[in-house]
Structure 1
Amino acid sequence: MLEAVGRLTDEEKVRNIIRAGETGKAEFKSSFSIDIKKQEKAGYIEDASLKTVVAFLNTNGGVLLIGISDDGEALGLNEEITRFHKGSNDKFLLYWKNNLKSRIGEQYYPFISAQLVSLSGKKILWVACSSSLTPCYLDSRDFYVRTNPATDKLEGPKLVEYVNNHFAK
């Protein structure tokens, strides 16, 4: 009820999303760039977050929390920000924005908001996406949609049918 009247802090809102778990409109990623098992930067880890953003844009919107494990543990992005962005939140957010711009497209900025939120001293990237008015592709070629609770790639006739049905004017 407090959330409905806007009295919850951002931290409390993020905690509520975590408590509800992953759904068709909520996804958790442990990091943006670091393969947690190998402890090194990996492009395919970044791909996973960007695919989710594209899927939310192509479906009904949603929230991506980066720095949260699949089981809801707050891992935080502190180490990633320190190792790859000189400890600067601004440099991390600029890196995030530049990935959005180059791999998804700046025309989708109005449908995406992102901010760092602190949960017990751990930095979490909270990405809120609304549904786009036009189809969105990752790297201008890959089309994803959100199902409960997964991201699926559509190709060929399934892609054409989805676009015709979902984005029909």
Structure 2
Amino acid sequence: MIKVKKQWLWIISGALFGLLVFAPLIMILFEYHFGKHQLPFKEVAINFYREAIDFVSGALLLLFVFMGGMMGYLIFRLRADNHRNSSDATISDLLLKGECNSIEFKSSFRWDYRLQKTSKEIEFAGLKTIAAFMNSTEGNLLIGVDDDAKIVGLDKDYETLRKYGRDGFEQYIMQSVSLHLGTENCKNVRVSFVASNEKDVCWIKVNSIKTPVFLKHQQNTHFFIRAGNGTRELNIQEALIYIRGTPRI
């Protein structure tokens, strides 16, 4: 829906450009050149705007509107294709590199493929990774990708949401971060989506921060860090040593 709105915004903007800028400019130059005016160009332009209805027929105006709209649409498509190609290439790089201290794959955020139902433990696993990235080094969490770097998509997660699709999924992610990691940490999470083979992948970029981040889950508080290509929980003593001894950026 958002993409469709942006598309029409570009089309309408292009149509207005064609009507209000392109058409007058072309007709002014045409009239100035072939009309052999002795008047300065500025005077010709002013006269055009004063008597525009005499210079341009309705059909010609519609032609400029159409041309401007098409130009807006083509610019929108070009920008969208460039963005998609750039994102796909980056996602491909992450998939090729595989899981490491800064990359983690999750098949889903809510759906348990083994039990075939939603699971709070699955959510907990995703939030653990986000918390660990914040406490260690910035990282990338790809949801909709299994441990073998195969894209499985987000359809199962989408079906569990009140609001189906990307918008509903992003809202649920941010609500979970706010509830379990703290609202102040939402600014350290950037959510985007990439479509590959008609399957969505959610790409969560997480910033590491100066202050320690604790994960609240079932009335317990946890502290996680990245350890190699996995996430490790520290007990209170280990967490204190880690927080005191780790340089915070």
TM superposition score normalised by structure 2: 0.62
Does the 8 Å CA contact 2:110/2:123 hold for their aligned counterparts?
yes
Kept in 1, the 8 Å contact 2:110–2:118? The answer is yes
Counterpart residue type for residue 73 of structure 1: K
| Distance in structure 2 (CA, Å) of the matches to 1:75 and 1:98 | 24
CA distance in 2, matches of 1:76, 1:157: 39
Contact kept? 2:108, 2:143, Cα under 8 Å: yes
- Paired residues in the alignment total 164
Gaps of 5+ in 2: 1-82
Instruction: Give the counterpart of 1:26 among 94, 100, 103.
Output: 103
Residue number in structure 2 paired with 1:93? 170
- Report the AA paired with residue 148 of structure 1: G
- How far the C-alpha of 1:105 sits from its partner, in A, is 1.0
| Residue 60 (structure 1) aligns with | 137
The structure where strand makes up a greater share of residues is 1
Shift of 1:111: 1.8
Q: Which has the larger radius of gyration?
A: 2
1:8 deviation in Å?
A: 5.6
The amino acid that maps onto 1:58 is: N
What is the Cα deviation at residue 15 of structure 1? 1.2
Of residues 93, 97, 110, the one that matches 2:187 is 110
Return the offset for 1:79.
2.7
The aligned residue for residue 227 of structure 2 is: 147
- Matched with 1:12 is 89
Aligned to 1:165: 245
Kept in 2: contact 1:63–1:126 (CA 8 A) = yes
Instruction: Give the Å deviation of 1:88.
Output: 2.8
**Given that residues 118 and 160 in structure 2 are in contact (C-alpha distance below 8 angstroms), is that contact kept between their aligned partners in structure 1?**
no
How many angstroms apart in 2 are the aligned matches of 1:88 and 1:168? 37
In the aligned structure 2, how far is the partner of 1:88 from the partner of 1:7? 18
AA at the equivalent of 1:28: F
Long gaps (5+) in structure 1: 1-5
Higher normalized contact order (CA 8 Å, seq sep 6+, divided by chain length) = 1
Return the alpha-carbon distance in structure 2 between the equivalents of residues 61 and 8 of structure 1: 24
Where in structure 1 do 4 or more consecutive aligned residues deviate above 3 Å?
Answer: none
SS in 2 for 1:142: strand
| Contact kept? 2:107, 2:152, Cα under 8 Å | yes
The structure with the largest helix share of the pair is 2
SS at match of 1:84: coil
Describe the shift of the 1:91–1:60 C-alpha distance in structure 2 as closer, same or farther (beyond 3 A).
same
Spell out, residue by residue over 1:122-141, the C-alpha distance to the aligned partner (whole angstroms, 9 max, x if none). 11110111111100010172
Normalising to structure 1: TM-score of the pair? 0.90
Instruction: Find the aligned partners of 2:152 and 2:141 in 1 and give their Cα distance.
Output: 14
For the aligned residue pairs, the C-alpha RMSD in angstroms reads: 1.9
Q: CA deviation at 1:84?
A: 2.7
